[in-house]
Amino acid sequence: MAPNGSGSPSTKSLVLVPALITLAVTLLRLTGELMGWSPVFFARTAGGAGAIVGIVWLVPVFGFLFARRLAESEPAPRGLPVIGNALLAIAVMVVCGVLAVGVLKVGQNAQFIVFFVAGVVAAWIAYRAWPRLGQLLLVYGLAARVPVIIVMLFAIYANWGTHYDVSPPNFPEMAPFGKWFLIGFLPQIFLWVPFTMFIGALCGGLALLIPGTRRQPLTA
Estimate to the nearest angstrom the gap between the alpha carbon of 140 and the chain centroid: 8
**Position 70 in a domain:** yes
Looking at residue 218, its pLDDT comes to 60
Geometric angle at alpha carbon 197, from 192 and 201, rounded to 5°: 145
**Position 5 in a domain:** no
pLDDT of 4 higher than 80: no
**Position 49 in a domain:** yes
pLDDT of 5 higher than 60: no
Estimate to the nearest angstrom the gap between the alpha carbon of 93 and the chain centroid: 13
Looking at residue 35, its pLDDT comes to 95
Cβ atoms 168, 192 nearer than 8 A: no
**Position 2 in a domain:** no
**What pLDDT, in 10s, does the model give residues 26-38?**
999 999 999 999 9
**Position 59 in a domain:** yes
pLDDT level of residue 215 (50, 70, 90 thresholds): low
**Position 185 in a domain:** yes
State the Cα–Cα distance between residues 67 and 61, nearest whole angstrom.
Answer: 10
Helices (H) then strands (E): counts for the chain: 8, 2
State the Cα–Cα distance between residues 102 and 192, nearest whole angstrom.
Answer: 22
**What pLDDT, in 10s, does the model give residues 86-121?**
999 999 999 999 998 887 778 877 888 999 999 999
Tell me 57's DSSP state.
G
In the chain, the number of structural domains is: 1
**Position 213 in a domain:** yes
Where in the sequence is the domain holding 180, given as residue range(s)?
Answer: 11-217
State the Cα–Cα distance between residues 53 and 22, nearest whole angstrom.
Answer: 11
Cβ atoms 74, 131 nearer than 8 A: no
Looking at residue 74, its pLDDT comes to 86
pLDDT of 123 higher than 90: yes
What number of other Cβ atoms are within 10 A of residue 111's Cβ?
16
**What pLDDT, in 10s, does the model give residues 149-170?**
999 999 999 999 999 999 888 8
**Position 16 in a domain:** yes
